[in-house]
Amino acid sequence: MFTKRTITFAALLAVAFSTARIAQADIMHYNGMGLKKYVDVLAWKSLAGRNFGTSAGQVKLDYQGTDYLGYCVDVFAYSGSSAVTEASYTTLRNGEQVAYLFETNSSGITHREQAAGLQVAIWELLYENNNTLDFNLDTGNFKITNSSVIDDANDMLDDMRANMPGNYSPIMQLLVLQSPCKQDMLIGREPPVIPEPATVLLLAVGGLFVLKRNRRRRALENA
């Protein structure tokens, strides 16, 4: 029979596991790029504040022992390995739209124009500051000059406008890996499995059993 004390112990156990996870220092390992294409970005009038040329597309990352194909959400730093902290996609400007683009398109990327298109579409959502225009890579204050990439990016943005539900919430667990010195990256992984309440209580019962056994052993040793 589960008592109030057992349930309390289960809650403390869950908090302890959570605290241990948050305190863990994690490294984002940068392993180069996957599918990509060089793009010329015209953004000196946008929130990015400058024109630049760069490779846009999939970023190969290793994080917590798992390989990911991430996308850059920070054009103000260089890519590279770094200690990172996890943040929600909602911390990004137009974060829900960015999440929809990533979740809808990232798994179906098959060629470099698509990969670059998804990247610059994400940047469009992050850095366009002409609020009188729909998000579009042909116009506004954040633009690129590569026509093939523009077509893919605009197709993704058009789909977002037409099909993104008003109450959209991603199925994947989308994380922003924030670095103090390298580019922040967006990754997606399977949602965490949340234990059933009965499983947590069983863990608590097991923990109580171990505590009682240790106390009994110490009492016998001190007798």
Tell me the backbone φ, ψ of residue 18, rounded to 5 degrees: -65, -45
Report pLDDT digits (tens) over 42-86: 999 999 999 999 999 999 999 999 999 999 999 999 999 999 999
Q: State which amino acid sits at residue 120.
A: V
Report pLDDT digits (tens) over 131-174: 888 899 999 999 999 999 999 999 999 999 999 999 999 999 99
What is the C-alpha separation between 96 and 93, in angstroms, rounded? 9
Higher pLDDT, 194 or 54: 54
In three state form, how does the secondary structure of the chain look? CCCHHHHHHHHHHHHHHHHHHHHCCEEEEEEEEEEEEEEEEECCCCCCCCCEEEEEEEEEEEECCEEEEEEECCCCCCCCCEEEEEEEHHHCCCHHHHHHHHHHHHHHCCCHHHHHHHHHHHHHHHHCCCCCCCCCCCCCCCEECCHHHHHHHHHHHHHHHHHCCCCCCCCCEEEEEECCCCCCEEEEECCCCCCCHHHHHHHHHHHHHHHHHHHHHHHHHHC
What is the C-alpha separation between 213 and 140, in angstroms, rounded? 69
What is the C-alpha separation between 79 and 81, in angstroms, rounded? 7
Least confident of 33-47, 49-63, 110-124, 183-197: 183-197
Provide the whole-model pTM: 0.77
